[in-house]
Structure 1
Amino acid sequence: MSADGIDLMIVLPAFAAGLLVLATHIPLGAQVLRRGIVFIDLAIAQIAALGVIAAGSLDFDPHGWTVQVAAGVAAVLGALLLTWTEKRWPDVQEAQIGVLFVLAATAGLLLLAHNPHGGEHMQDLLAGQILWVSYDQLILPAIGAVPILAVLAAFHNSLGRLGFYLVFALAVTASVQLVGVYLVFATLIVPSLAVRHYPERRRLPIAYLVGIAGFAAGLVLSVLIDLPSGALIVWCLALLAMLVHALGPDRPVPS
């Protein structure tokens, strides 16, 4: 397929979904790195995915608000549990996050064990189906992103442990269903890694540019060469992040 043949009716809603996810995940990813709890996003994303699977096993409408609620409740419960474990055993918090991720992932496998389409459903939740997102699916996540961005702007780096985990859980809930677990992790961590040695005032703008360019390149390539969009976006994000990091300062510099 030539570049002129790209179906913008497919690419543009997917790109809009990517922008919506990046809006909240770039600042959250910066805080994740600052707090040193890198794998929290995988754990919370997997718990939200478990909520989606549980809702599906109860025959809820896969595109209805009940699935959003189920995913949100699961993610918030996971956030509350991680808040408690960090307070109780802070020295092993990263290990506890890993254990919670494994438990959520295997619980999903058990719930889907007798579902004839279980493997396909699990793949959709992990790798996502961003290329087939519709504008209607973006309405609720867009509404939810507004208070999340407001809280992040108001409190910046002063969010407490519980507040951070709850905001994080709510942000991840919607994005998992839009782009999948892998892209949730990539959008949170990869752009922030790319700019960690840049002056602080430049980190967010450059991280946003890395994210936007990564989504755009991955979506266009997925249409041109007919490969899975989610996987291509992850690779585009990673390659762009490596380039941006290589072009940046060699060590932290004063803001």
Structure 2
Amino acid sequence: MMPADLDLMIILPALLAGLLVLVTHIPLGAQVLKRGIVFIDLAIAQIAALGVIIAGAGDFEPQGWAVQGAAAAAAVLGALLLTWTEKRWPEVQEAQIGVMFILAATGGLLLVAHNPHGGEHLQDLLAGQILWVRYQQLLLPAVGTALIAAVLFFFQNSLSRLGFYLIFALAVTASVQLVGVYLVFTSLIVPGLAVRHYVGKKRMALAYLVGAGGYAAGLVLSTLYDLPSGALIVWCLTALAVLVYALGPKPPGGLRAMHS
């Protein structure tokens, strides 16, 4: 397919899905980086995916309320457990997050082991099928995004540990089913890394531009060259983030600060 043949209306629902994810994931990602719990997003996303797999084993409608509820319940339970482990053993919280991630990932493998379509379903949850998102799938995530964005706007600086984990879990629940685990992690972490030395309002604005530009470029290129959308968005978003970081202000203390 040549650029002149590209119908932008084809990728518009997918782009809207990506923008919905970015609305909440960029501010949440900034908090994750600030709190030093980078891999919490992978763990919660994988736990939410495990909830989807468990619901799928019951032959529920993939986009139905039962699956949404199972994913949300799994993510919230994971968030509650992480809250408890952080209080009980704070010095090894990052390691505990890693253990939860690997348990959820391998649990999903075990549950789909005898499902003839299990590998394909698992791949969809990891890499996502963002290019095939339809407008009707965006209604519920849009409502959830608006509510979560409002909470983050009004209570971002006063959220307790438990409140943060619960909001995070609910945000990740919907986004995993829209864009997959890989894009959830990328949307949360990569824009924040790109702008970490910027200051003021420019910082968040650039983070959103990096995210939106990465999604748009990845979707267009994947459509033109028939490549996996989720994987290409990850690469485009990361490349744009590297460029924005390289052109941005240097960290205090030069190279020494970059390694500290």
Q: Which residue of 1 aligns with 2:9?
A: 9
Q: Which residue of 2 aligns with 1:34?
A: 34
Q: Which residue of 2 aligns with 1:137?
A: 137
Structure 2 residues not aligned, in runs of 5+: 254-260
Greater CA drift, 125-134 or 5-14: 5-14
The code of the aligned residue for 1:50 comes to L
Deviations 1:35-63 (A, max 9, x none): 00000000000000000000000111111
Deviations 1:19-44 (A, max 9, x none): 10000101000000000000000000
Deviation at 1:6, TM superposition (A): 1.6
Deviations 1:188-215 (A, max 9, x none): 0000000001114321111000000000
Distance in 1 between residues matched to 2:77 and 2:124, nearest whole Å? 23
Any idea what SS the aligned residue of 2:144 has?
A: helix
Greater CA drift, 165-174 or 196-205: 196-205
Determine if contact 1:54/1:111 at 8 Å carries over to the other structure. yes
Q: Which residue of 2 aligns with 1:205?
A: 205
Q: Which residue of 1 aligns with 2:149?
A: 149
Q: Which residue of 1 aligns with 2:45?
A: 45
The code of the aligned residue for 2:237 comes to L
Distance in 2 between residues matched to 1:134 and 1:10, nearest whole Å? 10
Distance in 2 between residues matched to 1:224 and 1:62, nearest whole Å? 29
Q: TM-score, normalised by structure 1?
A: 0.97
Q: Which residue of 1 aligns with 2:242?
A: 242
Distance in 2 between residues matched to 1:114 and 1:226, nearest whole Å? 31
Any idea what SS the aligned residue of 1:38 has?
A: coil
Q: TM-score, normalised by structure 2?
A: 0.96
Q: Which residue of 2 aligns with 1:71?
A: 71
Q: Which residue of 2 aligns with 1:113?
A: 113
Determine if contact 1:126/1:181 at 8 Å carries over to the other structure. yes
Q: How many residues align structurally?
A: 253
Distance in 1 between residues matched to 2:33 and 2:146, nearest whole Å? 23
When residues 252 and 144 of structure 1 are mapped into structure 2, their CA distance, relative to the original with a 3 A threshold, is farther
Q: Percent identity?
A: 76
Determine if contact 1:195/1:203 at 8 Å carries over to the other structure. yes
Structure 1 residues not aligned, in runs of 5+: none
Deviation at 1:4, TM superposition (A): 2.3
Q: Which residue of 2 aligns with 1:83?
A: 83
Distance in 1 between residues matched to 2:66 and 2:34, nearest whole Å? 34
The code of the aligned residue for 2:212 comes to I
Q: How is 1:53-64 mapped onto 2 (pairs within 5 angstroms)?
A: 53-64=53-64
Deviation at 1:9, TM superposition (A): 3.3
Distance in 1 between residues matched to 2:114 and 2:239, nearest whole Å? 39
Deviations 1:104-145 (A, max 9, x none): 000000000000011100100000000000000000000111
Q: Is 1:126–2:110 an aligned residue pair?
A: no
Distance in 1 between residues matched to 2:25 and 2:252, nearest whole Å? 23
Deviation at 1:8, TM superposition (A): 2.7
Deviation at 1:159, TM superposition (A): 1.2
